[in-house]
Every structure is written in C-alpha cells, then in structure tokens.
C-alpha cells in the first residue's frame, strides 16, 4: 500500500470530488470507495464522501496495491495507431466495450490490450481497467489512449485534468443548427430518476463542449466537437440539450433506429497530447469509419 498526503487549498469542495483532482489517477467512484473504507483521513479522522473541505485541511490517502489482474488476455484484432514503451493509441471499432463490466466479462478492449501488451499496462486504473486513461462508449468509434506504465498513466491523467489533452469528435445530429459554431457549458451528472442516463443537473460536474458545423444535410448536420472536459456521455447529453441529439442515439434522441444506424453516429476523430517521457506533442487522427461514411451517403448531397 502507498500513503500520500495533501493539503486542501480552497474551501467548500466535496472530498470525493477533490481527491481525483489532487491524486490524478483516482476516479471519483474509486475515491468514494476509499472514503467508505476509511482509507482517507482528514485532520487525522475518517470522513464521509460528502464532507466539504476547509482551507488547510490535512488529507492522508492510503492507496491499495494494484494487485494482479484476474482478466483474461484475448487474441483480438487491434488497430494500433501509435505505440511505444509508454503509450498505446488504438482505433476502437464501434460495438466494442472498453473494459469489463456487468454483462461484458470479456471481449473488451482491455482483454485485447492484455494480449497485445502483456504485462506492460499501468495498474493505476485498477484491477479491471489496466492501462485505461479515458473511455469512449461502446457504440462510439475512434481513438483511445492507454498507458503502459504508471508513470505514463499519471502524466496523461494530469493532462486530462488540466485540459491540455485535446480530443476532437465528429458526429451527425438531428436538425439544422442555426449558427456555424457554439459552446455548450452545462454541468453533467446522473439523471435524477434514471440512473443509467446522464443529464444536465445543477449538482453535476462542470462540462464544456465546443462544436462547429462541418456540413449541412436535409434534416441533419455533420458537426465537429472538441471536448474541454470529459464527462460520461458528454457530447450526447450536450447536443441533445440544445435540441440536436445525435443521429442513432436511442438514449438521448429518437427511440427508433435511424437509416440503418445501430447506436449513435459519433467518432473520436483526433487526439493530441504531450508525450509523458519526451515532452513532445503528439497529434493523431483517425479516418471516418465506413458506418459513418455510409450514413452520410444515405443523407444525400450536402447543402450548398
């Protein structure tokens, strides 16, 4: 086990929200589990996850050992876009789950990474998520970065936290966007009555999406989105909130499949980050996949 100490600088933030920010490799859910287990002490005493810190609070966190993964390595095809001793970036196909979860015990990207990378995946993400720095939804395709050691993982997590890792997505949304570009700045949290969905809620975490029009079609718009933050379902929730849900999104959009789509039309098109060891900026792109291009083709010619 590893013990780390921190000092709270600003008052009022919930401890379960603060911990992922100051100990970058922790997710909020992992922080809450540590708090429930009494592994977080504030001024020498355990606190609840809704405790709000005061300036100067002394925070002591005991992190468990990563332990050996019980996951199975599976020989599955991987579209590797970039790889070295610290980082691997893959082009994830739509339909592939990123890491094991209830209902998806194997056949995930993590199972494929374990086969491809062997023991060279970071343990920071926990036993079920080796190497995983960020996630994209099952039916979202495109670029995803994973870390091959803890040093790289912490460096990449810090870039996500300070917004210096750039992630560009392309999507097709319903309707005609009036403007050529815009920004949605609205906090995202769990839906108050449907825990499987996310929603814009006042108690949610800050979330910012910048969008711009790529092309307009009759009844649809092809857009490019840049994430300033990375909340669960962020683009899907934000675009739906302004009246333009993603085509094919049965959760936040229409309840019927659209023109042969099986899931939202969303692709992680570009990724830019600072290499954790060399310090150089790495810029990677992924071409639009066949399902996306075929959908655009079915929409006909773009409007002039």
Is 54 a domain residue? yes
For residue 26, what pLDDT is reported?
Answer: 66
Q: What is the pLDDT of residues 176-213, one digit of tens each?
A: 999 999 999 999 998 888 877 899 999 888 999 999 99
Backbone angles phi, psi at 275, to 5 degrees: -60, 130
Is 304 a domain residue? no
Query: 179 and 103 in one domain?
Result: no
From 15, 39, 63, the end of a domain falls on 63
Query: 175 and 262 in one domain?
Result: yes
For residue 82, what pLDDT is reported?
Answer: 97
Catalytic site positions: 137
For residue 128, what pLDDT is reported?
Answer: 58
> Residue 102 belongs to a domain with what CATH number?
3.30.2350.10
Parts of the chain with a pLDDT under 50: 67-69
Query: 261 and 179 in one domain?
Result: yes
For residue 2, what are the contacts with CB-CB under 8 A and spacing of at least 6? 62, 63, 65
Is 127 a domain residue? yes
Query: What residue spans of 14-144 are helical by DSSP H?
Result: 15-22, 28-36, 109-117
Residue-number span of the structural domain to which 81 is assigned: 67-162
> Residue 25 belongs to a domain with what CATH number?
3.10.290.10
Is 277 a domain residue? no
Query: 148 and 74 in one domain?
Result: yes
**Residue 107 and residue 116 in contact, taking contact as beta carbons nearer than 8 Å:** no
For residue 68, what pLDDT is reported?
Answer: 47
Is 303 a domain residue? no
From 36, 63, 90, the end of a domain falls on 63
Is 46 a domain residue? yes
Query: 200 and 264 in one domain?
Result: yes
For residue 7, what pLDDT is reported?
Answer: 84
Q: Which class for 212: exposed (0-12), middle (13-18), buried (19 or more C-beta within 10 A)?
A: middle
Q: What is the pLDDT of residues 276-292, one digit of tens each?
A: 999 999 999 999 999 99
């Amino acid at each position: 086990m590893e013990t780390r100490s921190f000092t709270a600088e600003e008052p009022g933030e919930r401890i379960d929200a603060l911990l992922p920010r100051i100990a970058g490799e922790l997710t909020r859910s992992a922080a809450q589990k540590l708090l429930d287990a009494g592994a977080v002490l504030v001024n020498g005493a355990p606190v609840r996850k809704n405790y709000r810190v005061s300036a100067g609070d002394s925070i002591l966190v005991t992190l468990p050992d990563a332990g050996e993964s019980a996951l199975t390595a599976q020989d599955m095809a991987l579209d590797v876009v970039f790889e070295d001793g610290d980082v691997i970036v893959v082009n994830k196909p739509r339909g592939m789950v990123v890491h094991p979860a209830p209902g998806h015990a194997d056949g995930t990207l993590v199972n494929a990474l374990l086969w491809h990378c062997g023991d060279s995946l970071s343990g920071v993400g926990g036993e079920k998520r080796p190497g995983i720095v960020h996630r994209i939804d099952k039916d979202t395709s495109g670029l995803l970065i994973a870390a091959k050691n803890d040093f790289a993982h912490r460096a990449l997590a810090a870039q996500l936290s300070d917004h210096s890792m750039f992630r560009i997505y392309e999507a097709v949304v319903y309707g005609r966007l009036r403007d050529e570009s815009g920004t949605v700045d609205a906090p995202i949290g769990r839906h108050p009555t449907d825990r499987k969905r996310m929603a814009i809620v006042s108690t949610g975490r800050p979330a910012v999406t910048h969008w711009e029009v790529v092309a307009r079609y009759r009844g649809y718009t092809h857009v490019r989105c840049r994430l300033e933050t990375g909340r669960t379902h962020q683009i899907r929730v934000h675009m739906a909130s302004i009246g333009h849900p993603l085509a094919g999104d049965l959760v936040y959009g229409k309840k019927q499949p659209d023109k042969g789509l099986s899931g939202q039309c969303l692709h992680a098109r570009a990724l830019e980050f600072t290499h954790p060891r060399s310090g150089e900026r790495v810029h990677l792109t992924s071409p639009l996949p066949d399902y996306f291009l075929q959908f655009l083709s079915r929409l006909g010619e773009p409007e002039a």
